[in-house]
Amino acid sequence: MEEEKQRGKGHRLLLMPSPLQGHITPFLHLGDILFSKGFSITILHTIFNSPNPSSYPHFTFHAIPDGLSETEASTLDAVLLTDLINIRCKHPLKEWLASSVLSHQEPVSCFISDAALHFTQPVCDELKLPRLVLRTGGASSFLVFASFPLLREKGYLPVQESRLDEPVVDLPPLKVKDLPKFQSQDPEAFYKLVCRFVEECKASSGVIWNTFEELESSALTKLRQDFSIPIYPIGPFHKHLLTGSASSTSLLTPDKSCMSWLDQQDRNSVVYVSFGSIAAISEAEFLEIAWGLANSKQPFLWVIRPGLIHGSEWFEPLPSGFLENLGGRGYIVKWAPQEQVLSHPAVGAFWTHNGWNSTLESICEGVPMICMPCFADQKVNAKYASSVWRVGVQLQNKLDRGEVEKTIKTLMVGDEGNEIRENALNLKEKVNVSLKQGGSSYCFLDRLVSDILSLKS
Ligand code: UDX
């Protein structure tokens, strides 16, 4: 055990996440996992959305100037933001690496880059520094990204409204409507970014995934065939860490008052509703969600992030007296301690946008999902959650209060709901097995540590 904690001693790792909550969290968790193996950890980050160093006194933090103006520093168009970072951080990173890596007391074993930060591959090549990639999304969605040129060649991309229900023959069980989409100022930008980051993943020394073999074996097998580099599915990251030992990775402060509200609710009764850190909805959609929740008669905990509703500061469009009329059945926060919420026995369902972290966190706690994907990888994640792992139901058709009420009832009270709940508990068990000694994630982590130690810079 003590030996295990020493393996990486005397070696430093440089980790650089994309400045989005859904990317910062898995990076900090990976840092903690590798720190527990003895490695020294430096987190390189942009000025925009920089993580809080005081939560991680055992790491070193270094800011790479991103040169973003006030209007550019925004997640409203995450593709544009990522493109700008890929351009603007290149020289500052190169300069910093050139001056500091060689002079470091401990040898730097490798650079672990977010897949989206493709500019780091040529920088590392130039400095002869091995680069590993952390792909913060799932492997199944990555396989779709890796197939973008083929999907375009076959006419599936760009997605056409008239073909939404057609199966994508090369990627079962996906239909055209499940393919990743992104609203960006420049419609071609998303396609180009994806193709570029896939190419630079292939050029890296290996890709780490926050997933586990049993969950995505088919995609991982295919990726191993297509990529000639090692692939390490070592997730779920947050479950490697001792319960309660992980520091907060949140950019926003979680409102913990919801935990005592949850304590007062019946077991498996609460619908937890959250759409992650970037997704935004219209006022009309917001009201349909609100009335659907109210009419379902189930208690609900709803994360309404400032900025979630287009054109509103917080939840001003909610009719006055809405919450009061529910007699304590609804609780709203700006940001929740999500991992804690999902592990609370009162939570019976998670209405999610299927960001990869949320999807995985739900799977880890055996909580069935109501899937409402918005963009990027989320549609693929939702399809797998509902049709492959069968741990959730997708909100079908258009977002309307009747549909919401029906879907919540299906999941919370019907026979279909019982089956889904059972599947979710079985999958949770598989997570636990994969993390135990001899389990798949445990073994891949062991291999990752050995491989890092044998990398030559
Ligand atoms: C983004 C993309 O949207 C997603 O598709 C991609 O897979 C990762 O990057 P985001 O939309 O924020 O992420 O979703 P998600 O991946 O689910 O990450 C959100 C994180 O914020 C989760 O770890 C979740 O636990 C946390 N969270 C969310 C909170 O801690 N509190 C909240 O109230 C809401």
Quick: pLDDT tens for 183-224: 777 879 999 999 999 999 999 999 999 999 999 999 999 999
Is 377 close to ligand 1, i.e. is its CB under 6 Å away?
A: yes
Name the residue with the closest Cα to ligand 1, atom 27.
338
State the pLDDT at residue 81.
96
CA of 241 relative to ligand 1 center, distance in Å? 19
CA of 138 relative to ligand 1 center, distance in Å? 13
Rg of the chain's alpha carbons, rounded to an integer?
A: 22
Neighbouring C-beta atoms of residue 334, cutoff 10 Å: 16
Quick: pLDDT tens for 232-242: 999 999 999 86
Per DSSP, the residues of 347-410 read: EEEEEE---HHHHHHHHHHT--EEE---STTHHHHHHIIIIIS--EEEPPSS--HHHHHHHHHH
Quick: pLDDT tens for 23-70: 999 999 999 999 999 999 999 999 999 999 999 999 999 999 999 999
Task: Show me where the domains of the chain are located.
Answer: 12-247+436-454, 256-430
Supply the pTM of this predicted model: 0.96
State the pLDDT at residue 437.
96
State the pLDDT at residue 105.
72
Which tokens belong to 64?
């790479």
Correct CATH for 256-430 of 3.90.79.10, 3.40.1350.10, 3.40.50.2000, 3.30.420.40: 3.40.50.2000
CA of 126 relative to ligand 1 center, distance in Å? 34
Amino acid (one-letter) located at 237: F
Neighbouring C-beta atoms of residue 296, cutoff 10 Å: 21
Is 338 close to ligand 1, i.e. is its CB under 6 Å away?
A: yes
State the pLDDT at residue 143.
98
State the pLDDT at residue 295.
97
State the pLDDT at residue 423.
98
Ligand 1 mutation target, pool 52, 183, 255, 338, most atoms within 8 A of CB: 338
Span of 4-13, 139-148, 220-229, 305-314 with lowest mean pLDDT = 4-13
Q: Which residues are within 8 A (CB) of 283 and not within 5 positions of it... i.e. 6 or more apart?
A: 309, 310, 311, 312, 317
Question: Interior CA angle at 358 toward 121 and 430, to 5°?
Answer: 95
State the pLDDT at residue 249.
84
Going by pLDDT thresholds of 50, 70 and 90, the confidence category of residue 456 is confident
State the pLDDT at residue 244.
56
Percent of the chain with pLDDT over 90: 89
Quick: pLDDT tens for 277-331: 999 999 999 999 999 999 999 999 999 999 999 999 999 999 999 999 999 999 9
Going by pLDDT thresholds of 50, 70 and 90, the confidence category of residue 138 is very high
CA of 355 relative to ligand 1 center, distance in Å? 6
Q: Is pLDDT of 396 > 80? A: no
Span of 79-83, 254-258, 394-398 with lowest mean pLDDT = 394-398
Region 155-164 average pLDDT: 93
Span of 85-94, 104-113, 404-413 with lowest mean pLDDT = 104-113
Could you give the CA distance from residue 365 to residue 344 in angstroms, rounded to a whole number?
9
Could you give the CA distance from residue 156 to residue 176 in angstroms, rounded to a whole number?
7
What CATH superfamily classification does 12-247+436-454 receive? Glycogen Phosphorylase B; (3.40.50.2000)
pLDDT, averaged across the chain = 94
Could you give the CA distance from residue 72 to residue 124 in angstroms, rounded to a whole number?
26
Residue from 61, 1, 56 nearest 32 by CA: 56
Whether 256-430 and 12-247+436-454 are alike in CATH topology: the answer is yes
Name the residue with the closest Cα to ligand 1, atom 34.
276
State the pLDDT at residue 180.
94
